[in-house]
Structure formats: structure tokens, C-alpha cells
Structure 1
């Protein structure tokens, strides 16, 4: 299959997935039992006339599929809608994206440095104590729920030891982002370490590495150049895809550490029953992940010329 045809097919698949996922989110927010307009008043219900006017204003009096099609029409013009206070969802997200991007890149950097380092260390010592410790540590890290890990890290390193700020971003980067970034990075870091470990161990047993040893190359040349380059292909692919996960997976951590990012906006919108904000933020995060996924897939053949798309 030619590169152009494959690209068009992947873009068509992206569109179908995007429509399917956003439809499910829209139905989950607006079609499930519950009245978001009635919930706006809290303990003091809004007058019936006000509720009716708000439903007309936000087209909640229309069938849900018609609402969804109207929402898609707005997306084509870059409009993510308005919340029930009349504020633009896109404008609210614009001021929060820098925080989320800084947090995701911090976590990504920790994944690369620590994950690749641990994987390389374990892959060069298969079956030894260091290898077993790394494998056991990665299993333990992925078994702890992110909320538990975030709160525990906040209590230990923030409150008791005082090494990092407990909440907010007043301290700026990097201090305000290192602890929450490390919490997010733990799960991807474990996968990177295990993937790198397996790739290094396999590469070290390959014939071309044995030939390099036979030629008398130093360990620094063999490992630092040839083994790392061959082992980095699957790890690089995973890291590129994981960046999309990091950009969209900061909701809980931003909520715990009270960071003013897009994830925290979604967290607050869910608590406040702001359906338009929930749908708008979720749509943006899904789109970011899908675009990153497709770009990685298209660049896969560049990372490894042996790959041919069929």
C-alpha cells in the first residue's frame, strides 16, 4: 500500500473513532438521567421560567442527537461551546493549556531519563539481583492506584518532608511540577523500563552484537551506540504515544495538587455538573491523543525502515 493511501486510511479511521467516542461522551453527559439545568440552583431550585429559558438557550430542549450534530457543526469552526455561565469553553481551556503541557512534559522527561536508565541497567544484567529489583519495582509501581499514590506523595514529600509545594503552581516550574509529574510518570516509567529491559536483553543476544564484540569494540561503543540505537525503536514509539496519554491523563493529579490545568478544569466541571465544559474538554483531550497516535503510526516506518504498511 502506498504511503498516501495508508495516510488517508488512517485519517479516515481517526475521524470514525473521534465521532464514535465524542458521541458516547455527549450521550453520557446529556442523555443520562438527571437535569443539569435544575442542578444549577443547588439547594434553591431555579424558577421554572428561568430553567425553561436556559434549556432553550443551550438547545437542551432539542433531541440529543440534534444537539450533538449542532455541537459538531460548532467544532468545525473551532467552537467548543459555552458553559452555563455563558463563558467560552475554548477560552477557559486556552489559559490552562500551558500548565497541563508543562506537567505532561515534566512527567515525560522523568519517564525518559529514569525509565530508559532502569531498563538499560536491568537489560545488561538479566537474571541478576538488579534486574529482579527493577522488575519487582515496576510491578509494584503499576499496582498502586494513581489517587492513592498522589495523596501519599503529597503527604510524605509535601507535608512531612517539605521538599515540594503541597498544591498550586505559585512556586513555578520546576518545583511545583516535579512531584505531580513524578506521580504521573510512575506508570509510564514502569512500562518504559520493562520495554527497554526486554529490548536491550534481546539485542545483546543478537548476532550483530556478537560480531561487534568479536571485532574488539569497547563496551561503551557496543552498548552506547549500537545496542542503544537498536533498542530505542520500540521505546521511542511507546514514548511518543504515551505523550498523548500524559496530556489527557492529568485529571486526577491536577485535582489532587490543585494545578490550574485542563485536567483540573474537567475535574471541577464534573463536580459542578457543567456538561458543556465536560464535553468540550474531553473532546479536546481525545483529539490530542488521536492525532499523536496517528502521527506516531505514520512516522513508525521512519523510525524502523524494515516496517512496511499493508
Structure 2
């Protein structure tokens, strides 16, 4: 088990370096000078430009810039923007909003998606199974901004059930509507993955053996089938949580939620490369840690994974 954990940690460390380098290169190797753009219509003096470039290591080769940035990341420093404000400090005040939104959407996806998938898997080929498949396809085809605006107009304005913008109402009132909009797009893959996993597991030899022993259907499904079916679902849910944390930009904009996604959107618009790289790095780290935790849980559920 220790060797398995060590291999996974080394693999994730290599992934972190590779992904963050690609992000850093894509941001800072683009045409244009972000320092020169700070002056707007009144260009900065050459001495000020040179000082700022030296301060932010922009006068160094790209590889050297990245290594200096990576050294800061290892000490918990995500850098600072061109106004001298810490990137980590700006993110700190926005994380609670993004985390609350992502976890609420994640919880809705797990509850509704797993229930739909289990019901469809246990009744494979039935009218209910076909209805779940059709519903997931229809939901996946609607753009997120269309669904968000429609939810605001119907649920918030016409029915007046939930607030349509801001986080002043607190959790869960202010987060249920945007979380539901995000969760809708994860229901389809989760439900279909659970349905396929449950359906395949029901035909396995060990399930037939448990039934032959006289175990009740509830025990066979609730314990043995669900345990074996949980491994691919857990793997996807870890990936899905990382996507939720990094994919709330549009929804936070629609519902005016002051989260990390809104900070990332503003940084792209204002050409604040340090913020873009810092936020992206934090999201990558969270995604990799979630993947590591799920790998460990999956290996505990199925020892064959460790041997492989």
C-alpha cells in the first residue's frame, strides 16, 4: 500500500509540473506586453517598464520565470498582480463562495444522479430506463447560460422561490438555484455511469453466487452490487468536483456570486496573468488531491487496483 501511494504521489507531482508549465507558458508567452498595457492611453516610461519587468521576472527566459514561480508555489506563494496585491490573498476571500457553490452542486449531482442511475440499472430495458436516458440527453444539450437565465426568470422572478443574484441570503438559499443549474450538467454522465455499472455488476458471477446463497435482494444490491459499482463512479466524482471548482465562471457571472470563478474571469479581461496562473494552479492542485483521495479509496475497495 505504501509503494502504491508513493507511485501515485510521484505521478501526480509530475502531472502538476507539466500542467502548470503549460498554463504558465500559454499565459506569459502570448503576444503583447502586460506591463506596457498598464499605462493605458498614457504609456509608462521605459525606466518604469524595466523596473516592473525585473520585479515580476518578465525579463528572464520563460523557463527561468516558471522555475521561479514554481519555487514560490512550493512555499505557498502564488505571486502577486501588477498592483502588488497577493493572488492568494485575493482568492482567500472568494474561496468560501466557490466551495459552497461547488459542494452544493456536487451534492445535488450525487443524490439525484445516483438515484436515477440505480433505478435505471435495476430496470434495464424498461420504459423508466429509456426515460432516464432521454432525460439526460435532453439536459446535456441545453447551454448553461440559457438554463441559468431561464432559471432566474422562472424560479426567481415568476415564482419568487429563490434569490436570483448575490450571496447576501447565505447558504443554502442563495446557492440552491445556481447550484442546481451547475448540477444539471453532471446528472447525465453520473446517472448513465451508475446505470451501466450497476447493470454490468448484476450479471457478475459473484452476484449470482450471493443470490444462490439465499441473500435478500436488498442486501445483494445495497452491499455487494453498490460496492463494486462505486469504484468507477467515485473516480468520475473526483474529476467532477475538480471541474465544478474550475467551471463556475459562467454561473458565478450570471448569478453575480463573488467567487474564484468571477476573479478568474476578471483577470482574463484585465490581462492579469499572475492571477490567471495562480487561480489555475490552485484548481489543478485541488483536482489532483481529489484524484489521489479517490484512488486510495478505490484501492481500499478493490485490492486488484493496488496489484495492477
Q: TM-score, length-normalised on structure 2?
A: 0.90
Name the structure 1 match of 2:276.
278
- 1:148-187 correspondence to structure 2 within 5 Å: 148-187=146-185
Deviation at 1:226, TM superposition (A): 4.0
How many residues get paired?
308
SS in 2 for 1:307: helix
Unaligned 5+ segments in structure 2 are none
Paired with 1:229 and 1:296, the residues of 2 have a C-alpha distance of: 14
Deviation at 1:90, TM superposition (A): 0.8
Deviation at 1:225, TM superposition (A): 4.0
The 1:306–1:30 alpha-carbon spacing in structure 2 relative to 1, beyond 3 Å, is closer
Aligned partner (choices 5, 8, 11) of residue 10 of structure 1: 8
Paired with 1:94 and 1:42, the residues of 2 have a C-alpha distance of: 29
- 1:20-39 correspondence to structure 2 within 5 Å: 20-39=18-37
**Paired residues of 1:269 and 1:275 also in contact (CA < 8 A):** yes
**Paired residues of 2:234 and 2:298 also in contact (CA < 8 A):** no
Paired with 1:45 and 1:149, the residues of 2 have a C-alpha distance of: 43
SS in 1 for 2:35: helix
Name the structure 2 match of 1:147.
145
**Paired residues of 1:241 and 1:296 also in contact (CA < 8 A):** no
Paired with 1:165 and 1:25, the residues of 2 have a C-alpha distance of: 36
Paired with 1:120 and 1:203, the residues of 2 have a C-alpha distance of: 11
Paired with 2:294 and 2:98, the residues of 1 have a C-alpha distance of: 21
Paired with 2:27 and 2:88, the residues of 1 have a C-alpha distance of: 18
Paired with 1:232 and 1:12, the residues of 2 have a C-alpha distance of: 25
Query: How big is the alpha-carbon RMSD for the aligned residues of Structure 1 and Structure 2?
Result: 2.3
Moved more, 239-248 or 70-79: 239-248
Deviation at 1:192, TM superposition (A): 1.2
Paired with 1:275 and 1:63, the residues of 2 have a C-alpha distance of: 16
- 1:74-223 correspondence to structure 2 within 5 Å: 74-210=72-208, 218-223=216-221
Deviation at 1:77, TM superposition (A): 1.5
Deviation at 1:153, TM superposition (A): 2.7
Name the structure 2 match of 1:295.
293
Deviation at 1:133, TM superposition (A): 1.1
Q: Deviations over 1:249-289 (max 9, x none)?
A: 22222222221111211111111111111111111111111
Moved more, 271-280 or 36-45: 36-45
**Paired residues of 1:123 and 1:198 also in contact (CA < 8 A):** yes
Deviation at 1:60, TM superposition (A): 1.9
Paired with 2:29 and 2:18, the residues of 1 have a C-alpha distance of: 15
Paired with 2:25 and 2:124, the residues of 1 have a C-alpha distance of: 50
Paired with 2:56 and 2:227, the residues of 1 have a C-alpha distance of: 54
SS in 2 for 1:164: coil
The 1:43–1:183 alpha-carbon spacing in structure 2 relative to 1, beyond 3 Å, is farther
Moved more, 87-96 or 232-241: 232-241
Name the structure 1 match of 2:61.
63
Paired with 1:51 and 1:215, the residues of 2 have a C-alpha distance of: 78
The 1:42–1:160 alpha-carbon spacing in structure 2 relative to 1, beyond 3 Å, is farther
